[in-house]
Structure 1
């Protein structure tokens, strides 16, 4: 294949299709109309001699070739964005800038320690200010310049004013105390799961993917306790027969600090899509672009 015949914009089309599985939504994500997106997809199919995405029900499912190309295309675009197109004017080794990042308390546990370690190595003078905001307030903070980046699950950050980049999907698991009668059952049966007493966490009063899915399916659990902070689960799970259904990454962290057993959830709810979001005002800011590249390098497709 002659490299002179490859349009880099077609890789953006591929990336958007791989993430959104919809011609319309993919086009909206990269600023193309549906006809323009369809034409670009046709060019991409001809270039690679493969249909790449096939309509299955309401979604466009990737072919085997598309599945194999997703990660290589992501790496190419990450290199272009983070090393070739990065604007000048920001030297991380000498900068004393303060970045403000919005993330919930679970994000503080998951994202902040690796990011702080990366900054200590590559940008020792850079400071990090991590804040928590409700979903609706996160948009206002980014738009006003009060925050540079939001990392996590923020389904309200949509529209032309915001950019987003997929990092990874987080599945749901169950946490029990290590000596719970069901802790070594291998997997929780649905009947046992529903018979247990549950504790749920609603940071900032927010509903989560799992609760929304249960409501749509008409599944009712015996919820006896609701909390505002994930870390409050540690002493409760360790010293009671309560069960908590949480994102897998959080459960793995909890295991480091408490005698907790993690089991697969008996209900296959949709995974939690984790993105980084930024406002268009910061899109071409060299320092913010550098920070986004670090976040993608640390957490992309983990």
Structure 2
């Protein structure tokens, strides 16, 4: 028997007949008139080449063929009702879902500790997978269903395919070791800043907002070291007289774990808007909605 030739609505009628053993009551149960229900029973009989239901007294009793089919049809009905027709939902307390989040190394340091601590209480079975992607690949990864969320500064994630929610603005500050000679001289002036030796981080494939601003303003620094990863800054700043100009959230982390000081940067640079981004494919996914709500609760300013 070819599945394409079967009206699956007939299985609904069959199941109703098995349960109610009455054309009238079965029709009422599934919203069919008595003539429509009688027509459905006739089509079932033709489909299976069997009477299926015969009248005995006041009820329509199933034949042996109908009894043999009843269990399988009931399982199909239950599966459709419980696994297909149920509205999508997400129960964080019992979920073991793994969420993949795109974020740079700064994002890993800023977002993950607090988010993991929150998940341990709200969704103890949920797992996180943090991945790094450059500007171009981030959009492809979200669109390809290989990630649920992007956290950070991704200026290319725009257009009708992507949604975004602003979390906070990140400004640039300077990092120096705690006993740096410059700290004894008072505030860091532009002249003093440009006279210092600098370490600069250039993450691969990332937007360098402060570097671009320096080029536009014509300021030149004495750069003695260039790095690819922000994590390397902590031991270097702590043990040298180099100064680093970094986003405020990273500076706060460095200050928490090393002997460094945060100083206002004398060059006014545009702030970095930090967002969470997601693709329209997951916009109405219950689990993704829940995750975005947790991120907003934890990190959204104001």
TM-score, length of structure 1 as denominator length: 0.70
Match of 2:167 in 1: 167
Q: In the alignment, is residue 285 of structure 1 matched against residue 282 of structure 2? A: no
CA positional deviation for 1:135: 1.1
Q: How does 1:136-147 map to 2 (within 5 A)?
A: 136-147=136-147
Alignment of 1:1-302 (within 5 A): 88-301=88-301
Three-state SS of the structure 1 residue aligned to 2:220 is coil
Q: Deviations over 1:172-217 (max 9, x none)?
A: 1000111111124442110010011111111124342111111111
Change (3 A) 1:292 1:223: same
Cα displacement string for residues 250-271 of structure 1 (whole angstroms, at most 9, x for unaligned residues) = 1111012111011000011011
Deviation at 1:126, TM superposition (A): 0.6
Provide the C-alpha distance between the structure 2 equivalents of 1:276 and 1:133, rounded to a whole number of angstroms: 14
What is the match of residue 28 of structure 1?
none
Between structure 1 and structure 2, the one with the greater Rg is: 2
**What secondary structure does 1:182 align onto?**
helix
Q: Is the 8 A contact 1:138 1:150 kept in 2?
A: yes
Q: Which runs of 4+ in 1 moved over 4 A?
A: none
| CA deviation vs aligned residue, 1:241-299 (integer Å, no higher than 9, x gap) | 11000011111110121110110000110111000000001101000000000000000
1:214-241 Cα offsets, whole Å, 9 max, x none, are: 1111111111211111110011111111
Give the number of equivalent residue pairs. Answer: 216
Q: Deviations over 1:34-65 (max 9, x none)?
A: xxxxxxxxxxxxxxxxxxxxxxxxxxxxxxxx
Query: What secondary structure sits across from 1:108 in the alignment?
Result: helix
| Residues 265 and 155 of structure 1, relative CA distance in 2, 3 Å threshold | same
- What displacement does 1:89 show? 1.1
Q: Which runs of 5+ in 1 are unaligned?
A: 1-86
Residues 135-190 of structure 1, C-alpha deviations (whole Å, 9 max, x = no match): 11100100000000000001111111000000000111000111111124442110
Contact 2:88 2:285 in 1 (8 A): no
Q: Distance in 1 between matches of 2:206 and 2:148?
A: 22
Distance in 2, matches of 1:148 and 1:99, equals 6
C-alpha spacing 1:267/1:172, structure 2 compared with 1 (3 Å) = same
Question: CA contact under 8 A between 2:178 and 2:261: conserved in structure 1?
Answer: yes
Give the TM-score, by structure 2 length.
Answer: 0.70
More deviation, 259-268/184-193: 184-193
Residue range with higher mean Cα deviation, 220-229 or 157-166: 220-229
Local SS of the residue matching 2:182: coil
Q: Write the deviation string for residues 75-98 of structure 1: whole angstroms up to 9, x where unpaired.
A: xxxxxxxxxxxx851111111100
* CA–CA separation in structure 2 for the residues paired with 1:260 and 1:205: 28
CA contact (8 A) 1:95 1:123 kept: yes
* Alignment check: 8 A CA contact 1:199 1:243 kept: yes
